[in-house]
Structure 1
Amino acid sequence: MHDERRRIEDRVDRVLLQRIQPAVHADSVPLELTFWQAPGEPVPFARAAAQPFAPFTTGTAWGPPWGTTWFRARGTVPEG
């Protein structure tokens, strides 16, 4: 068998540098994250969306094991 490792690694490097890295956006913007813990299952989307969502911050518990937590994320996409 021929060892094609070097050629494959070169292709991977080229795809990473030419395609993937230019497409990654490093800038970040604020995001509002809120949550609602469902009392049981199933919960239709319309019912869940109408619930009062509470602020979710780092360290907030997601709920009991096997429970369902709905998240709402809101933010503004920058012009650029």
Structure 2
Amino acid sequence: MQGRGVLWWIGVEPAARGHGLGRALLGSALDMLTGMGATEVILYVDDDAPPGDARDRTAVKTLYESAGFQEIDRLYSFIE
């Protein structure tokens, strides 16, 4: 692979959060992508849940931002 890597999903069970597992998973994923030749990485975050919901992505978005990622676009899905 050369160029762009894509990270679709990482997750840590709520009871296990706050111990650096998400940061370790992110680091491992980035190391793997870099080892495969990625020079940039795209992250996808499903953030349609309200804060406090089980699907709330506030923590992972904070993790990604602290790792130097920034939001550059949003993709909206609609169902009929």
TM-score, structure 2 length as denominator?
A: 0.24
Higher RCO (CA-CA < 8 Å; seq separation 6+): 1
Decide which structure has greater strand share. 1
TM-score, structure 1 length as denominator?
A: 0.24
